[in-house]
Chain A
């Protein structure tokens, strides 16, 4: 190793442990002096650049990390909770949608009847022409005889325009609700503390027939099915 090579290594890599480098340092007094100068310079340099951070740097780093960790776990918790709540909501909505129709209509009808206990029932039969007009107003066509109708009025059931009728039955008054656009899949028997009857599926809606226990509801159903045409919306 020559002096130029030695000094280059000494300047760039002061702690070089290369055998040839160390050997040259021992044998060349000029380069040995250069190495000492470099060492002194490096000590100066090391002292000069030795700036200290603020004493609480470590504490602040750990605090920030701790806050970020807490925030992340909080976010994870919120996200998981939100996800669980959303899933529950979706499942509930699906469940409600699937199971809504039949029991809901029965409940709606029960509620409607309870809310309209006193209706102005006429002593005479409502005229057929008047009935035809009322049926037409709810998209139904009356083509036959329904028997003695004491009350007839359009109403809203399940937010759908419907027709409320009260007929004279063998055991007392019979309520018939004609509900276009409120459909049921099968005939539902209504038999609770306040009502007795059936809800029957029709071509474009449904029909509820409610009367006293022992009333021949099937005959009335048959009569209505034969006398009405469901036009639809």
Chain B
């Protein structure tokens, strides 16, 4: 049986990267994303004794992060500014700097939150429709529809790029 500290360290190591990516695509700000993950983990530490099943930890953390992000809007109304999505690429080898990735990121940022959230949960966290439905508290049918529309919108943004020529090769 793990003690609380060991459980927490394991959670942080396994999930903090995925949580960060999810947070980043929710708020489009690396510092805010950083804060969101830290606050989520701080809450997780305080409530860790309530987590009976470690298998539920991932969904629990993503739900906590979503709530934390919502609280941000309750506290202050953030200023809307033009975002420089590629600012995060500084000194990162794993960051895709291709035109397609740039276009996709712009389109993703412009995607309505109700479409963006389920898509990120699927692509980043690897959740299936039922799990996403549970996290977002909507029906599985609604999740399927949103995922379909989200991908459709993003694919539209890709038409005419190199991506399309690669598709044509298929």
A-side residues, CB < 8 A to B, are 8, 11-13, 33, 36-38, 40-42, 44-54, 57-58, 60-62, 64-65, 68-69
Looking at the complex, which one of A36, A42, A45, A50 makes contact with B94 (CB distance below 8 Å)?
A50
Nearest A residue to B92, CB-CB: A52
Write out, one digit per residue, whether chain B residues 127-170 have a CB within 8 A of any chain A CB (1) or not (0): 01100000000000001110110011011001000010011001
Classify chain B's interface size.
Answer: 35 or more
Min C-beta distance of A59 to chain B, whole Å: 10
Contact call B42/A68, Cβ cutoff below 8 A: yes
Question: Can you identify 9 A-B contacts, CB atoms within 8 angstroms?
Answer: A37-B167, A41-B158, A44-B104, A48-B101, A50-B95, A51-B21, A51-B95, A61-B38, A65-B42
Interface membership of B96, Cβ < 8 A: yes
B62 surroundings in chain A (CB, below 8 A): none
User: Main SS of the interface on chain A?
Assistant: helix
Least Cβ–Cβ distance between A26 and chain B, in angstroms: 16
Residue among B96, B144, B151 making CB contact with A50, cutoff 8 Å: B96
* Residues of A close to B25: CB separation below 8 A: 49, 51
Q: Are B123 and A49 in contact (CB under 8 A)?
A: yes
Contact among B13, B45, B145, B170 for A36, CB-based, below 8 A: B170
Cα distance A68–B158 in the bound complex, in angstroms: 46
**Do the beta carbons of B152 and A11 come within 8 Å of each other?**
yes
Answer yes or no: B65 CB below 8 A from chain A CBs: no
CB within 8 A of A11: which of B8, B96, B148?
B148
With a cutoff of 8 Å between Cβ atoms, the chain B residues found around residue A60 in the complex are 34, 38
Across-interface contacts of A49 in B (CB, < 8 A):
21, 25, 104-105, 108, 120, 123-124
Q: With a CB–CB cut-off of 8 A, which chain B residues contact A44?
A: 100-101, 104, 158, 163
Q: Please measure, in the bound complex, the distance between the C-alpha atom of A171 and the C-alpha atom of B104, giving whole angstroms.
A: 115
Contact of A12 among B20, B41, B104, B147 (CB under 8 A): B147
Q: Is B104 in contact with A61, judged by CB distance below 8 angstroms?
A: no
B residues near A54, Cβ cutoff 8 Å:
30, 34
Question: In the complex, what distance in Å separates the CA atom of A232 from the CA atom of B12?
Answer: 77
Partner of A65, one of B45, B145, B163: B45
Contact of A51 among B24, B37, B119, B163 (CB under 8 A): B24
Inter-subunit contact A41/B123 (CB<8 Å): no
Interface contact B42-A57, CB-CB below 8 Å: no
Contacts of B16 in A (CB 8 A): 53, 57-58, 61
Residues of A contacting B95 in the complex (Cβ-Cβ under 8 angstroms): 50-52
Instruction: Pick from B42, B124, B129: contact of A64, CB below 8 A.
Output: B42
Decide if B114 is an interface residue (CB 8 Å cutoff): no
CB distance from B93 to the nearest CB of A (A): 9
Pairs A-B, 3 closest by C-beta atoms: A53-B20, A48-B104, A12-B147
Given contacts A13-B128, A44-B100, 12 further A-B contacts (CB under 8 A): A13-B147, A41-B154, A45-B123, A45-B154, A48-B100, A49-B123, A51-B88, A52-B20, A57-B17, A61-B37, A61-B38, A62-B9
Is A48 a contact of B129 with CB atoms below 8 Å?
A: no
Chain B residues, CB < 8 A from A69: 45
